[in-house]
Chain A
């Protein structure tokens, strides 16, 4: 700092600095206390998933079983035959092909007969599930500063 700078600095030291309101510290500290209280107890702290994991497993299993039952129950039984190993293999293959096409037909039939509202329900459930998992991740997260 040269002489002119020093001289100017002396001059500047003479000015009085502005002051905020007298209860400034109090205002800031009360805002900080409120901030810290929120950080200590996040909004999602008590969040419980709407549908528990157990219920989801039961619902999905039930749905899968229902689908299997619908597709298998309409199958014509393959005719029994005792004409040797190769013919039984051929029959099995045939039965498999028949059941496969039958499942596809039935599947197509099932899906075409399902009303649109059901798709919406499934989509909404999936969205709810995704949101559920997302919120669950944040449920116990708190700020870096912990209150004693």
Chain B
């Protein structure tokens, strides 16, 4: 349904109804902006990059064959443009060291997290996510938030599926570890 809806508007744009493109801009702007922001950090750069992504998508709309989801195609444009921008700035992603957290620790951490206040949950989660390397933030957002499959993420980022699996697994553990540190700090500050 979602793909058909996108396809309907894409066809409308191709037939000359440019205004139909605003539906696609409206629908995907938040996630495109979020991805750009996670990689570029500065809101003004992210906004410009998000705009450029939509302009590029409009210009190349005839090249979109519909084999993958429109969102996947859009995310790959954003990701590649951001990576080229970062290369220009000579910024490299930090790597993530393995976290020694067991599955039981993850379960306990999750229960602990659930007990914290809703507004704090969001705050800590955003802080923890922000501490991950930029490319891992993208993988986590696409996989857990945007429900993109491993294959789709592979199409967007150019990484292999096995590499994505490993990176997501490590990123999840790292996030739990960061949440653990932050929530412990909060408990100590209360005591």
Contacts and interface: CB of A to CB of B under 8 A. Distances in A.
B55 A31 contact: yes
Interface in A98-147: 143-147
A46 interface: no
22 contacts: A8-B175, A11-B110, A11-B113, A14-B118, A15-B122, A18-B33, A19-B33, A20-B46, A20-B47, A24-B33, A25-B25, A25-B26, A25-B29, A28-B29, A28-B55, A29-B25, A32-B55, A33-B18, A35-B55, A35-B59, A144-B62, A145-B18
Interface of B: 13-19, 21-22, 25-26, 29-31, 33-34, 37, 46-47, 50-51, 54-55, 58-59, 61-62, 103, 106-107, 110, 113, 118, 121-122, 125-126, 129, 140-141, 144-145, 172, 175
A4 interface: yes
Would you list the 4 A-B pairs with minimal beta carbon distance, nearest first?
Answer: A12-B144, A144-B62, A148-B16, A20-B33
Contacts of A41: none
A12 B140 contact: yes
A97 interface: no
A141 to B, nearest CB: 14
A95 interface: no
Contacts of A32: 18, 21, 54-55, 58
Nearest to A146: B16
Contacts of B55: 28, 31-32, 35
A4 B33 contact: no
Given A7-B106, A15-B126, A145-B61, 11 more contacts: A4-B103, A8-B110, A9-B144, A11-B125, A14-B121, A19-B30, A24-B47, A24-B51, A28-B54, A35-B55, A143-B59
A89 interface: no
